[in-house]
Homo-oligomer: A and B are copies of this chain.
Amino acid sequence: MHFMTALRAAWQSRNSLLCVGLDPYPARFPAHLQGRPDAILEFCKGIVDATADLVCCFKPQIAYFAAQRAEDQLEDLIAHIHERHPDTPVILDAKRGDIGSTAAQYAVEAFERFRADAITVNPYMGRDSVEPYLEYADKGVILLCRTSNPGGSDLQFLDVGGGERLYERVARLVANDWNASGNCGLVVGATFPNEIARVRHIVGDMPLLVPGIGAQGGDIAETMQAGGTADGTGLMINSSRAILFAGSGEDYAQAARRVALETRDAINAKR
C-alpha cells in the first residue's frame, strides 16, 4: 500500500478527512480495563474498531506507548489495523529527527518494526536527516511545519528573510526539494488558520496533517477554509482526546464513535 494512494482513496471512500489520534493515557481508561496488562492495546482496539469507517487515517502517538513500556502493544495495534481495516493508513506520530545514519535506524523502527504507513519527522536538522525516510518511497513522511502549541512561534514564526517565516521556508523546502518522490506531507496546527492558508498556497495540494481542533481550541470552519483543496480534501484533521475519552464507561468505544461521527460531519459541513 502506498501511503498517499491509500490516503486519497480513504478520503473518497470514507467521505472523511478525520484522523483519530491514538494517545492512550491509562489513568483515563474505563474501569473495566484498568490494571489489565494489555489495557492499552484493548482500549485502542476498541476505539479503532468503532471508528475505522469514519476516518481517513489513524495516528498512534508513540510517546504514550513508550512511557508505559508498551512497544509490543503498539506493534500489535498496528498489526490489528492492517488486518481488520486494511484500507486505513497508519501514521506513526514520532517526530523523529537525527543525522542520516541514526535516521536510518528510526526508519527501520517506524516502517519495518511497527509497520507504519507514514511517520512524522522534525525538519530542524535538514534534508539529509529526512532522506532515510524518503527512501521508503511508498511511505509517507510528514514534516513538522507550523505546530499547534503556543511555543511553536518561538522559532517557527521567525522572519528568515524578506518577510518569509521559518515555517514557510520549511514548507517551501519540502514542496520544492524534499518531495521529489511525492511522499511528503506537513503538520500545520488548526490554531493558526492564517498560517494554514499560507502553507496551502506554498505547497499546492500536498496533504496537511492538522492537529489542534477540540482540546487545543482550533476551529473546523477556519481550518477547512484555509487548508482544503479544490476538491474538498487535502487535510487529515486530527482529534485525539475529545474522541478517545468521550465516554468513561464500558461503552467508551460507542461514545467515541458518536463524537467521531459528529466531528466528521462537522468537517464535511464546511467542505
Residues 58-84 (chain A) with a chain B CB within 8 angstroms: 61, 63-64, 66-67, 69, 71
When the two chains form their complex, are residues B113 and A66 in contact, meaning their CB atoms are under 8 A apart?
yes
| Cα A103 to Cα B140 with chains together (Å) | 23
Residues 113-167 (chain A) with a chain B CB within 8 angstroms: 113, 122-130, 144, 147-156, 158-161, 166
A61, A102, A151 — most chain B CB neighbours (10 Å): A151
| Cα A71 to Cα B169 with chains together (Å) | 36
When the two chains form their complex, are residues B66 and A69 in contact, meaning their CB atoms are under 8 A apart?
no
Partner of A147, one of B61, B63, B99, B147: B99
When the two chains form their complex, are residues B98 and A125 in contact, meaning their CB atoms are under 8 A apart?
no
Q: Does A173 contact B (CB under 8 A)?
A: yes
When the two chains form their complex, are residues B66 and A106 in contact, meaning their CB atoms are under 8 A apart?
yes
When the two chains form their complex, are residues A69 and B71 in contact, meaning their CB atoms are under 8 A apart?
yes
A124, A151, A159 — most chain B CB neighbours (10 Å): A124
Residues 85-99 (chain A) with a chain B CB within 8 angstroms: 95-99
Q: Does A50 contact B (CB under 8 A)?
A: no
Given A61-B102, A102-B23, A122-B122, is A169 in contact with B155 using a C-beta cutoff of 8 Å?
yes
Q: Does A13 contact B (CB under 8 A)?
A: no
When the two chains form their complex, are residues B154 and A126 in contact, meaning their CB atoms are under 8 A apart?
yes
When the two chains form their complex, are residues B166 and A158 in contact, meaning their CB atoms are under 8 A apart?
yes
Given A63-B102, A102-B63, A155-B123, is A149 in contact with B129 using a C-beta cutoff of 8 Å?
yes
A96, A130, A211 — most chain B CB neighbours (10 Å): A96
Closest Cβ neighbor of A106 among chain B residues: B63
Q: Which residues in B have their C-beta under 8 angstroms from that of A156?
A: 124-126
| Cα A61 to Cα B61 with chains together (Å) | 20
Q: Which residues in B have their C-beta under 8 angstroms from that of A147?
A: 99, 124-126, 129
When the two chains form their complex, are residues B67 and A113 in contact, meaning their CB atoms are under 8 A apart?
yes
Closest Cβ neighbor of A63 among chain B residues: B105
| Cα A125 to Cα B127 with chains together (Å) | 18
Closest Cβ neighbor of A125 among chain B residues: B147
Ordered nearest first, which 9 A-B pairs have the shortest CB separation?
A126-B151, A126-B154, A63-B105, A128-B151, A67-B108, A67-B105, A158-B160, A127-B151, A66-B109
Pairs across A and B, CB under 8 Å, 7 listed: A61-B105, A64-B102, A95-B96, A122-B124, A125-B151, A128-B151, A154-B173
